[in-house]
């Protein structure tokens, strides 16, 4: 009897030891690189006839770029955002866009849901953003699984037809992740809308990077009272395209025409080159995004 018990005990112990490596391997490994998502844009002619975009991912540990969808004709995306549950969205221009009279004839007011595996359009909502004229939605970020924030229109360049400062918009999604409604939260400062926004995963504060003639201006965005938003620092990234935080609070920004990825000191200004992506991307960087991670204690 004792012998049988000893054999059974040995078998149980052996099985338990065999299961330990499997249990450990199932846990997330420390130091797993964080991936930023991005989108590029390009024109097929100097006159602005037809656009194209690429959806890509960047490994922030190595700078390796993975193309999710290669450059194809139409649509031309202005920015990209991913919710915590992995749904991917973009803002952009109409299919088969034409601008015979220049930039002012193009609307970047469509909203898309994309397939994260292929970058293909799953669904499109035409004219979801109602402003007419060259009022591009070039800032898009997931607020939660049920909503996104966007910045539309406005700016300092009156030649582009901006009558007022840019508006902060909240996009509400239904239970299936489809576009449900849009709300104007309020008008931001009198700055060009071309930039991006994201929430610091540590502090829970929202920040936006906006184009400036000599570089970029970083603003702390008050999402409850947009008019109270304030400029907090400057960086030397000319024509900043895209801005996103990593899970540990590291902030990244892209240079639009330079196709470079920078780390950004949001509070104190300044930036440092992280990776040159120009050898991998055909178009200019229009937007960056990470999968939204709500701060502790927040929905």
How confident is the prediction along the chain (299 residues), in pLDDT tens digits per residue? 444 545 444 544 443 444 433 333 223 344 446 899 999 988 765 555 567 899 999 999 999 999 999 876 668 888 999 999 999 999 987 655 555 445 545 667 889 999 999 999 999 998 888 765 456 787 899 999 999 999 886 554 544 545 567 788 999 999 999 999 999 998 887 666 677 899 999 999 999 988 766 678 889 999 999 989 988 998 888 888 899 999 889 999 999 889 999 999 999 988 999 999 999 999 999 999 998 654 454 44
Q: Is residue 92 part of a domain?
A: yes
H or E element that contains 184:
strand 179-187
Q: Is residue 12 part of a domain?
A: no
Q: Is residue 101 part of a domain?
A: yes
CA distances from 3 to 16, 30, 76, 87, 229 (A): 20, 44, 74, 58, 76
Q: What is the pLDDT of residue 238?
A: 80
Q: Is residue 15 part of a domain?
A: no
Residue-number span of the structural domain to which 138 is assigned: 32-289
**CB–CB of 87/93 below 8 Å?**
no
**CB–CB of 271/215 below 8 Å?**
no
Neighbour-count burial for 44-77, b at 16+ CB within 10 Å, e otherwise: eeeebebbbbbbbebebeeeebeebbeeeebbbb
Q: What is the pLDDT of residue 7?
A: 47
Q: Is residue 61 part of a domain?
A: yes
Q: What is the pLDDT of residue 173?
A: 97
Total tally of structural domains belonging to the chain:
1
Q: Is residue 226 part of a domain?
A: yes
Q: Is residue 17 part of a domain?
A: no
Q: What is the pLDDT of residue 100?
A: 46
CA–CA separation, 297 and 299 (whole Å): 7
CATH of the domain at 36: 2.120.10
Q: Is residue 21 part of a domain?
A: no
């Amino acid at each position: 009897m004792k012998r049988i018990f000893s054999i059974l005990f040995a078998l149980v112990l052996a099985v338990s030891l065999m299961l330990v490596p499997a249990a450990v391997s199932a846990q997330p490994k420390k130091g797993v690189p964080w991936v930023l998502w991005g989108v590029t844009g390009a024109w097929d002619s100097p006159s602005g006839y037809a656009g194209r975009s690429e959806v890509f991912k960047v490994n922030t540990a190595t700078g390796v770029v993975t193309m999710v969808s290669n450059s194809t004709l139409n649509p031309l995306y202005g920015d990209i955002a991913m919710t915590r549950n992995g749904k991917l969205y973009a803002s952009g221009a109409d299919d088969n866009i034409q601008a015979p009279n220049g930039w002012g004839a193009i609307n970047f007011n469509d909203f898309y849901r994309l397939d994260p595996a292929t970058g293909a359009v799953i669904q499109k909502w035409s004219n979801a953003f109602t402003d007419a004229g060259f009022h591009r939605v070039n800032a898009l970020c997931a607020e939660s699984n049920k909503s996104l924030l966007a910045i539309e229109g406005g700016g300092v360049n009156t030649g582009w037809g901006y009558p007022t400062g840019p508006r902060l918009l909240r996009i509400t999604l239904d239970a299936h992740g489809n576009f449900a409604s849009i709300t104007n939260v309020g008008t931001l400062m009198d700055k060009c809308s071309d930039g991006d926004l994201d929430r610091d995963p540590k502090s829970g504060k929202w920040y936006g990077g906006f184009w400036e003639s000599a570089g970029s201006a970083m603003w702390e965005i008050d999402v409850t009272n947009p008019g109270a938003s304030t400029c907090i620092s400057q960086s030397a990234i000319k024509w900043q395209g895209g801005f996103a935080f990593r899970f540990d609070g590291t902030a990244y920004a892209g240079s639009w025409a330079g196709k470079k990825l920078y780390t950004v000191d949001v509070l104190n200004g300044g930036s440092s080159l992280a990776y040159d992506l120009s050898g991998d991307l055909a178009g200019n960087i229009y937007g960056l995004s990470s999968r939204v991670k709500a701060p502790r204690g927040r929905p």
